[in-house]
Structure 1
Amino acid sequence: MNWFIETKWEYDTISNKDLFIICNLKTGSNDQVLSKKLHILLDHSRMRIRKGEITHLLGETIDSTARIDQQRQRLQELASKLPSPKQTGPHIVLIDTQNLKVAKHECEGESLIRMACGNTNTVTAGQDMRPSENNTFRQYFAITHIIFSKKPTVLPEILQQKRSVPVEKPISVANLTVFYQIHDGSWRECQDVAIAPIAIRNEEPKWLTDSIINIEPDKLFSFMIRGNIRLKGEPGTDNQTRARIHKSLPQPFKLKIVITDNFTKQCSLVVEQLNKPIDLITRESFLKSNQSYINELVAFIYADDCEHDERVFMAMYLNKENELVLKSPGSYFYNFERKALRTMEFNARQNQTPEINLDRMHYQYAGQETKAFAIFDPETYMFYAIRFELSTSTSKTEETVLIPIEKIK
C-alpha cells in the first residue's frame, strides 16, 4: 500500500475525563509512518473540553527548524543546478521614431490646380484580416484632408493698362492617381483610388463615382482620398498591428497624389506618414499595469515574433494574498496556494515524476505557443521551480525559475 490514514479512539479505563484520538499516516513512497496522539481532557460539569494536547508518537523526529534548514540547503543545491536561460532567434528592432520626422511638401507641376494638406490631415492605415490564397493582402490608406484650389493667372499689361487683370479659365480635375514609394526610391501605382468631399458631423464620406472635379476660382475644396496596395506576406494578427503601414514598406511612408487637369497638365503633392511606436509589453509595463494585484514580480519571460512585430510573454508573481500566480497570453491565470503545492508534491511522489505539464498555461495561436512545467526535486519531490517555454515563428525562449517557496501563503 502506497499510503494510508487511520484514526482510532481510546478511553482511559480509570478516568472518564480523558479521551485520546490516535492518527497514523503514511504518504506516497515514504516508508516512514507518522503517528500522533491527541489527548483531550473533558469537563463534564460544564460540557466542554478543558484541554487538548498533541503528542508525537512516531516519525517527525527532526524538529521543524532543522527541517526548514535542510529544505533551504537542498533548495540552494537545486538552484545551483538550474539550466541557464536559452534564447534563439531575433528580437524586434524598434525604429527610433523620435529621430524621424514627417516632412511637408509643396504642390509641384504646371497645372493651375493646387493641392495642400489641411490642418487636420493625417494618413490612416488598415490591412486585410487574413491573406488571400496567393499569400497577398491589401494595405489600405486614407489621406484625410487635402485642399484643392485654382492658382490665379495674371496676363501682362495690354494696351497700356495700368494694372494686370486676372483672367480665370474654367479648370477641372480630369484624372487622379496615387503612387507609393518603395525602399529603392521608385514609385508604384496604388489601386482602387477614390475621392470624396470631407464629411461633416461624423457622416460617412460620399465617394465620387469618377474623379472629374470642377475647381472654381477663389474657392477652396476639401477632399479625402483613399486607396490600397497589394503586398506579399501576412497582415497583422490584431487590431493594433493592422492599423499600421506594413513593415515591408519604408518609414516614413510616402504617397504621391498626381492630378491631370482638363488641359492635360499635371501637378503632384507628396504626403508622408509615420507609424506610431510599437507598444510592446515589457517587465516594467506589465508591473505598472498590474501593480494593484502584484506583491512581488518574480519572473517575466518573453519571445518576439519578428514576422508580425508581436511579443508573447509569461509572468510569475506573488499576488496581494501571497499566492503564487502564473500568467500567460490572453486571460490565462494559474493560482497556487501552499496547500495546492503540497497536493502537487504528493501526486509527483505517487507517480515518481520530476515534472508535470501545467496544461492550463498552454497557449497556441498563429504560430505562437507558451507552455509551463512544474519541476520537482527527484529526491524529495519538493516543488521548487517552473520551466517556461515560449516560441513564435521566428524566436524561442526557455527559462527555469525558482519559486519563492517560503513566501507562498
Structure 2
Amino acid sequence: MNFISDNRIAHLDNTQDYDQASSSWDWFLETKWEYNSISNKELFIICNLKTGSDDEVFSEKLSILLDHSRGRIKKGEITHLSGDTHDDKTLTDQQRERLKELASKLPPPKQTGPHIALNEMLNLKLTRHECEGESSIRMTYGNTNTVTTYQDTARGQDNAFRQNFVITHIIFSKKPTILPEILQQKRSTQIEKPVSVAGLTVFYQVHDGSWRECQEIAIASITMRNEEPKWLTDSVINIEPDKLFSFAIRGSVSIRGEVGRDNQTRQRTHKSLPQPFKLKIIITDSIGKQCSLVVEHLNKPLDLITRESFLNSYQSSISELVGFTYADDCETDERVYMAIYVNTENQIIVKNGGSYAYTFTRQMIRTMEFTAKQNQTPEVDLDYIHQSNARHSSRAFALFDPETYMLYAIRLELSTVTSKTEETILIPIEKID
C-alpha cells in the first residue's frame, strides 16, 4: 500500500508501485480528501475503485459538514460520481441484448449412436405353452411358476461367465392310459402304472431361432417349508398315477460378453440373449419316449433416469431445471447423465450422475469471469466435474462471451462405448445469488 503526501489518503493496486502509469493497473483502490473551495466547513472524501473484471472506475464522494465550534461532524452525505450503479445481479439492457445474441448462436444438441430401446421392451409379452410329445409324463406351469436369472459376478479364465437360471413350480404328472376294449366287449378300464423320468435336458433359444443345450442341469422337488432344495443332477424320478409333483429346475448358459456392473444388472438376462428368454425342458421317460415344455422369461423394464424422473426425485431442491442430457451404453443397458438446475437458494447446480453435485454462486461466477478475462480464455474446462472409466465419460465446459467475458452457458459432453451426446445449455445468470 502506498501512502501519498498530497491530498491522497491511500492507494492500493496490483503493481504495488505507485510510480507506474494508471493504465498498467488491473485493479486499484484509492481515497483522497478535498475541501470545498468556497467553504472550509465542508470536507470531501473521494473513493475510486476499479476491479479487474471491469473497465469502469467507480467513484463515490462522502461530503462531511464540519462543526468547528464543537469539533465534530455535523452532517454527512454520499454522492455517486461515476461508474455503473446497477446491482451485481441485474443485467444491463446492453448485457441482455448481448445474451440474446449469444443464445441465438447456441449450437443444437448433437447425438451419435443408439439409444436403449425402452419402447420395444415394453411391448414384449410372455406366451404360455402346452406340453408336447409322446411320453405319458405331462408338464405344466404351477400357479406360482417363476423363472429367475442371475449372472456370475466375474468372467472366468476363458473370458466367459455363466448366465444362471432357476425355473420353479413345474408340475409333473402322468396322463391316464385308456386301453381298448378287449375280450367279450368288456368296458374299457384304466390300468395305471408308474412312469419314471430317466433323463432331463434343457435348451435355450438364440436369436436365429435355433436351440442350444444348457449346462449344469439339476432338479429338486419343491418343499412345503422354506427349506433349501436338494438338487439332483443324475437320478431317476418316479411319477405315480393320479398324483402331482412340483419341481424346480436350474441350469446355466455360457456367455461371452460384459458381466453386469451391479446387482440390478446381474439379475437380468444378458443382453446377448433374446427377449423373451425361452427355455425348453425335455423329459425322456423310462421307455424312451419324450415330452417338452417351453417356459419364457422377460427382464423387468429398465429403470433408467429421464428428465421427468430426475425432476421428480429432486423436486424439493430444484427451483428450475435448466438442462438434462444423457448418453446410453447399449451393451450394458446403462445410462450416464448430467443435469443443470437452479436450486431453492438461487445457486447453479451441475449434477454429474450419482451423488456428485457442484455448486456455483454469484461470487464464484464473478471469479470465473475475472480469471477468464485475465487469461483471455472464452472456454474453460471444468475438469473438477469430470468423471470417466473404461466405458463412460462425462465432462463440462464453461463458456464466456469473448467480448465481455460474461459467463453465459455450460457445454456438457457425455460418451459411452456405443453413444455420444453434446449439449450447450444457457445459464440464467440473473437468477443466481
Cα deviation code 1:93-150 (max 9, x no counterpart): 2353454322211112222221111111121112233434444322121112111112
The residue that corresponds to 1:85 in the other structure is: 109
The CA deviation at 1:64 is: 8.6
The residue that corresponds to 1:46 in the other structure is: none
The residue that corresponds to 2:173 in the other structure is: 149
The CA deviation at 1:91 is: 2.1
Contact map agreement 1:324 1:408 (CA 8 A) in 2: yes
The residue that corresponds to 1:192 in the other structure is: 216
RMSD across aligned C-alpha pairs, in angstroms?
3.3
For 1:227, give the aligned amino acid: G
For 1:328, give the aligned amino acid: N
User: Structure 2 CA distance, aligned partners of 1:20 and 1:272?
Assistant: 90
User: Structure 1 CA distance, aligned partners of 2:350 and 2:391?
Assistant: 21
Q: Give the greater-gyration-radius structure (CA).
A: 2
**Where does 1:217-232 land on structure 2 (aligned, <5 Å)?**
217-232=241-256
Q: 2:314 aligned with 1:290, yes or no?
A: yes
Alignment partner of 1:340: what SS? helix
The residue that corresponds to 1:234 in the other structure is: 258
Moved more, 283-292 or 153-162: 153-162
The CA deviation at 1:240 is: 3.0
The residue that corresponds to 2:95 in the other structure is: 71
Contact map agreement 1:361 1:372 (CA 8 A) in 2: yes
Q: 2:51 aligned with 1:27, yes or no?
A: yes
Contact map agreement 1:334 1:360 (CA 8 A) in 2: no
Moved more, 63-72 or 96-105: 63-72
Identity of aligned residues (%): 69
Q: Could you say if the C-alpha distance between residues 273 and 398 of structure 1 is closer, same or farther in structure 2, counting changes exceeding 3 Å?
A: same
Q: Could you say if the C-alpha distance between residues 21 and 373 of structure 1 is closer, same or farther in structure 2, counting changes exceeding 3 Å?
A: farther
TM-score normalised by L of structure 2: 0.82
The CA deviation at 1:156 is: 3.1
Cα deviation code 1:57-110 (max 9, x no counterpart): 453378999961111011122222322322222222235345432221111222
Alignment partner of 2:145: what SS? coil
Contact map agreement 2:48 2:57 (CA 8 A) in 1: yes
The CA deviation at 1:29 is: 6.4
User: Structure 1 CA distance, aligned partners of 2:201 and 2:89?
Assistant: 82
User: Structure 1 CA distance, aligned partners of 2:88 and 2:357?
Assistant: 33
Q: Could you say if the C-alpha distance between residues 363 and 272 of structure 1 is closer, same or farther in structure 2, counting changes exceeding 3 Å?
A: same
The CA deviation at 1:392 is: 0.5
Alignment partner of 1:183: what SS? coil
For 2:243, give the aligned amino acid: K
For 1:73, give the aligned amino acid: E
Q: Could you say if the C-alpha distance between residues 211 and 23 of structure 1 is closer, same or farther in structure 2, counting changes exceeding 3 Å?
A: farther
Alignment partner of 2:405: what SS? coil
1:374 to 398, 402, 405: 398
TM-score normalised by L of structure 1: 0.87
Moved more, 326-335 or 85-94: 85-94
Q: Could you say if the C-alpha distance between residues 371 and 97 of structure 1 is closer, same or farther in structure 2, counting changes exceeding 3 Å?
A: closer
**What count of residue pairs does the alignment treat as equivalent?**
402
Gaps of 5+ in 2: 1-14, 16-24, 67-72
Contact map agreement 1:113 1:151 (CA 8 A) in 2: yes
For 1:70, give the aligned amino acid: Q
**Where does 1:122-133 land on structure 2 (aligned, <5 Å)?**
122-133=146-157
User: Structure 1 CA distance, aligned partners of 2:85 and 2:345?
Assistant: 32
The residue that corresponds to 2:382 in the other structure is: 358
For 1:91, give the aligned amino acid: H
1:266 to 287, 290, 303: 290
Contact map agreement 2:217 2:233 (CA 8 A) in 1: no
Q: 2:428 aligned with 1:404, yes or no?
A: yes
User: Structure 1 CA distance, aligned partners of 2:353 and 2:159?
Assistant: 27
Q: 2:194 aligned with 1:173, yes or no?
A: no
Cα deviation code 1:336-370 (max 9, x no counterpart): 22222112222222333222222332122341110
Moved more, 304-313 or 90-99: 90-99
The residue that corresponds to 2:7 in the other structure is: none
1:387 to 404, 411, 417: 411
For 2:216, give the aligned amino acid: D
**Where does 1:5-154 land on structure 2 (aligned, <5 Å)?**
6=29, 23-28=47-52, 30=54, 32-37=56-61, 53-60=77-84, 68-97=92-121, 99-154=123-178
User: Structure 2 CA distance, aligned partners of 1:307 and 1:19?
Assistant: 77
The CA deviation at 1:192 is: 0.8
User: Structure 1 CA distance, aligned partners of 2:186 and 2:199?
Assistant: 39
For 1:263, give the aligned amino acid: I
